[in-house]
Amino acid sequence: MYKKKTVAMLLAGGQGSRLGVLTASKAKPAVTYGGKYRIIDFPLSNCSHSGIDTVGVLTQYRPLELNTYIGTGSAWDLDTTSGGAFVLPPFSRGESGEWYSGTANAIYQNMNFIEQFDPENVLILSGDHIYKMNYNWMLAAHLEKDADATIAVIPVPIEEASRFGIMNTDDSNRVLEFEEKPEEPKSNLASMGVYIFKWSALRKYLKEDTKNPESENDFGKNIIPTMLEGGEKLYAYEFGGYWKDVGTIQSLWEANMELLSKQPPLNLYDDPWRIFSRNPNEPPQFVAAGAVVKNSMICEGCVIYGTVENSILSSGVIVKEGAYIKDSIIMSDTVIGEGSEIKASIIDEEAVIGRECKVGEDIPEGETNKKITVIGKQTFIEDGWKIAAGEEVSK
């Protein structure tokens, strides 16, 4: 194998249980965002643009859809002779085969994979977040400080800081303390789940962590605190761009709606840092005479006869005559029947909504607890049904 300066390990085994029926049949990184993307497209595209061509993708929960999606990594230009995207599910080693018990354990079990490249640094990523980031800049900071670990952080409003892993740093950005979901946060620098480790240091701590039966084998809860105790050099790297954890139905819906605002905080239309994804081979979208499409994002293969306002449609969605879609996210190949009304909803792939259905309700202005209605994959909603706001329906 070629020697690599940096190997990326992408943790994509998360169930995303708070996404309810949307993750009933697929892992969270495979969830659709922005019409044509999957969440995992973001870290994979970031790797590709940052020139990191060797990416191990650790899967565990419902990996089928994700494995198929990643394939050889060609969609992200990762199918090079010396690198590539490697899907790494848990595997059996004679008698000791086991599931990944935590994020650190997943890396531990794939140490052999990393060793083949003899890397200087390992970049640990999560497949759960939407952001565009040049990892090279972080790597440069890591090398400049000669750090054992560099943790990407993002400032969050202090009142929300208790939901995150918070880094307390000194003036030189050296991490003094790490607190997981502190009740009284001392800082507002939240960990983004993006780490660069010196491989020699990480290897040592992974081995020790495995021997500790008390450990949950988690980067945030175990590896980072033990490294701090061990006096290693940990630095925070502050990231200034857009970063969003779409861990709940409401945050997934909000992150999508942000794309439709006047000045979206995340610009998908910026060409040099294009987000790559698998592209379906479908004809262009057709907007029929009589259709209305306003403030929306629409993908290839859609056929629209009805009205679409302030919504995002993935590829191959059919909106029949008289249907009205507002403030909603409709995923691939779903059919919305004649006269149906869809408001503030997320409808997963290949669902069929019959005629004259009413799904969801408008969200009152200023409402913080938004009731988003969710229809699961391949669900069939019969003609005339009403699905109340905030309901989750699956087949």
Question: Shortest approach of other proteins to residue 144 CB, angstroms?
Answer: 33
Q: How far apart are CA 319 and CA 297, in angstroms?
A: 14
Residue from 226, 285, 378, 394 touching other proteins (CB under 8 A): that is: 285
Nearer to other proteins, 91 or 269 (CB): 269
Q: How far apart are CA 141 and CA 153, in angstroms?
A: 13
DSSP 318-355: EE-TT-EEES-EE-TT-EE-TT-EEESEEE-TT-EE-T
CA torsion, points 314, 298, 72, 19, in degrees to nearest 10? Answer: -40
Q: How far apart are CA 27 and CA 66, in angstroms?
A: 7
Q: Position of tokens 């979901």?
A: 181
Amino acid letter for position 36 = K
When asked if residue 300 is in the footprint of other proteins (CB under 8 A), the reply is yes
DSSP 174: B
Question: Shortest approach of other proteins to residue 52 CB, angstroms?
Answer: 18
Q: How far apart are CA 325 and CA 330, in angstroms?
A: 9
When asked if residue 274 is in the footprint of other proteins (CB under 8 A), the reply is yes
Residue from 312, 323, 336, 353 touching other proteins (CB under 8 A): that is: 312
For residue 313, the SS3 value is: strand
Site string for other proteins, 91-130 (x = CB under 8 A): ----------------------------------------
Residue from 99, 200, 286, 384 touching other proteins (CB under 8 A): that is: 286
When asked if residue 279 is in the footprint of other proteins (CB under 8 A), the reply is yes
Question: Shortest approach of other proteins to residue 313 CB, angstroms?
Answer: 8
Nearer to other proteins, 49 or 244 (CB): 49
Which is it for strands 324-326 and 341-343: parallel, antiparallel or unpaired?
Answer: parallel
Closest by CA position to 168, among listed 147, 144, 189, 195: 189
CB 268 within 8 A of CB 259: yes
When asked if residue 155 is in the footprint of other proteins (CB under 8 A), the reply is no
Nearer to other proteins, 156 or 298 (CB): 298
When asked if residue 284 is in the footprint of other proteins (CB under 8 A), the reply is yes
Q: How far apart are CA 288 and CA 223, in angstroms?
A: 56
Of residues 24-53, those binding other proteins (CB under 8 A)? 34-36
When asked if residue 78 is in the footprint of other proteins (CB under 8 A), the reply is no
Which phi-psi region, left, alpha or beta, contains residue 224 (left: φ > 0; alpha: ψ -120 to 50)? Answer: alpha
Question: Shortest approach of other proteins to residue 261 CB, angstroms?
Answer: 11
Question: Shortest approach of other proteins to residue 11 CB, angstroms?
Answer: 24
# residues contacting other proteins (CB under 8 A): 32
Question: Shortest approach of other proteins to residue 130 CB, angstroms?
Answer: 14
Residue 109 structure tokens: 């079990």
Residue from 20, 247, 280, 390 touching other proteins (CB under 8 A): that is: 280
CB 308 within 8 A of CB 235: no
Q: How far apart are CA 109 and CA 297, in angstroms?
A: 41
For residue 56, the SS3 value is: strand
The separation between CA 72 and the C-alpha centre of its own chain, rounded to angstroms, equals 19
Q: Position of tokens 């607190």?
A: 179
Of residues 223-262, those binding other proteins (CB under 8 A)? none
When asked if residue 296 is in the footprint of other proteins (CB under 8 A), the reply is yes
Nearer to other proteins, 107 or 342 (CB): 342
CB 149 within 8 A of CB 197: yes
Nearer to other proteins, 200 or 295 (CB): 295
When asked if residue 73 is in the footprint of other proteins (CB under 8 A), the reply is no
Region binding other proteins by CB under 8 A among candidate stretches 224-232, 247-255, 273-281, 375-383: 273-281
Nearer to other proteins, 212 or 279 (CB): 279
Residue from 281, 364, 365, 369 touching other proteins (CB under 8 A): that is: 281
Nearer to other proteins, 290 or 384 (CB): 290
Query: What is the contact surface with other proteins in residues (CB under 8 A)?
Result: 34-36, 268-269, 274-277, 279-291, 293-300, 312-313
